[in-house]
């Protein structure tokens, strides 16, 4: 931040906004994919439970994404700069997902994680969730991050 006309960077606002809205927005973005698996009218009753679960699971990675974006003081000057919040959220969600799967495998909670074929499917699922989280972070960056 070398320009003297810039105001103070809104780090607390960014951290709070990312923590609250990244999970909600990524849940809305993944809703079309989730609705493919809802086969009966009774399944739609679980939609509130799905959003609650999605928000809780994504709260820590979203908070970490907001902290990293606030720490590096990412600003939007040109369209290429939207790749920065996308990359931050994608990497945070992907790395934490891999750590979570690794911890489950080490604790031997699910023996399917120890099989190579199943591990590839879990990694692909984590990759897709990280992509959705990166897109939601980019959408939030459009409205939250400063544009100097």
Rounded CA-CA distance 90/24 in Å is 16
Tens of pLDDT along 105-133? 777 666 665 677 777 888 898 999 899 99
Tens of pLDDT along 47-90? 777 777 888 888 999 999 999 999 999 999 999 999 999 999 99
Tens of pLDDT along 4-22? 555 789 999 999 999 989 8
Q: Name residue, tokens 């909670």.
A: 109
Looking at the whole model, is its pTM more than 0.75? yes
94's CB contacts (< 8 A; 6+ apart) are 126, 127, 130
Q: For residue 132, how many C-alpha atoms fall within 13 Å in the half-sphere facing its CB?
A: 19
């Amino acid at each position: 931040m070398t320009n003297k006309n810039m105001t103070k960077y809104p780090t607390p606002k960014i951290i709070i906004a990312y923590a609250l809205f990244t999970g909600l927005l990524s849940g809305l973005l993944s809703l079309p994919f989730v609705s493919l698996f809802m086969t009966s009218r009774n399944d739609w009753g679980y939609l509130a439970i799905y959003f609650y679960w999605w928000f809780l699971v994504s709260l820590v990675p979203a908070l970490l994404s907001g902290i990293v974006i606030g720490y590096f003081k990412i600003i939007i000057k040109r369209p290429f700069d939207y790749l920065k919040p996308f990359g931050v959220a994608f990497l945070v969600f992907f790395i934490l997902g891999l750590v979570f799967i690794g911890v489950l495998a080490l604790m031997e909670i699910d023996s399917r994680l120890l099989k190579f074929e199943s591990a590839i499917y879990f990694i692909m699922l984590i990759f897709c969730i990280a992509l959705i989280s990166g897109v939601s972070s980019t959408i939030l960056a459009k409205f939250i991050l400063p544009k100097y």
